[in-house]
Amino acid sequence: MTRLPRCIVLAMRFLMAIAMLCAMGCAGTAKSPPSQHLSALDSAAVRRELQHRYDENRRAFLAKDFNAIMALRTDDFHAVTADSVLHYRAEMEQSTRALLDGIDRWISLTFEIDSLEVSGDLARAVVRQHADRIARRNDGLVHHVETWVTQREIWRRTSEGWKLSRVDSIRDQRRLIDGKAD
């Protein structure tokens, strides 16, 4: 088995962490019946429900509550990172645990829904995320880490409300370590 260079492994971990962070929201208590044709009012309601889920996700990350984070995701949750690699739920769980374990403290975490397309029980949100934290890095030291990313998140309406099922189209990634571009 060929061993990947450390820089590639670190880049893959970073991309999974970004996908995970961006996947940090999940649906509220939307239990209305499915509809194939949503009015503007219905679309606005879905946006409010998703924003509630992003708020729940944010609180779960800030509290480092792994179970609450994963409860906002479907059983088949997965992410496609910017390098087009598919990461299933088990991998994303590992990435989430590693991310949470490395965080010393959060400074801020925001999710902004840029656009939303709703079709039946699926909602496709383009989301901008900013995560600012003090975290342990691979050098074993604690650093100020700030990241930005834009990605598409696909939510599925379930009997438990909206849940995040897929993250993809990851772009506009930026990371600063101690104020310097990484």
Entry pTM: 0.79
Q: Using CA atoms, how far apart are residues 22 and 169, in angstroms rounded to an integer?
A: 11
List, as one string, the DSSP characters of 63-123.
TT-HHHHHHTEEEEEEEE-TT--EEEHHHHHHHHHHHHHHEEEEEEEEEEEEEEEEETTEE
Res. 182 pLDDT band, cuts 50 70 90: confident
Which of 41-45, 122-126, 139-143 is the least confident region?
41-45
Please count the other Cβ atoms lying within 10 Å of the Cβ belonging to residue 5.
8
Residue with the bigger pLDDT between 172 and 10: it is 172
Report the percent of the chain where pLDDT is more than 90. Answer: 76
Calpha distance 77→89 (Å, rounded): 5
CA 55 to CA 174: how far, in whole Å? 23
Q: State how far the Cα of 171 lies from the Cα of 7, in Å rounded to an integer.
A: 20
For residue 123, with 0-12 CB atoms within 10 Å meaning exposed, 13-18 middle and 19 or more buried, which class applies? buried
Please list the residues that pair with 142 across neighbouring strands. 136
pLDDT of res. 113: 98
Lowest-confidence pick of 33-47, 72-86, 116-130, 154-168 = 33-47
pLDDT for residue 9: 44
Structural domains in the chain, CATH included, are: 6-181 (3.10.450.50)
Give per-residue pLDDT as tens, 36-68. Answer: 455 666 899 999 999 999 999 999 999 999 999
| Residue positions counted in the chain | 182
Average of per-residue pLDDT values in the chain: 86
Q: CA-to-CA distance for 118 and 155, rounded, in angstroms? A: 9
DSSP state of 138: T
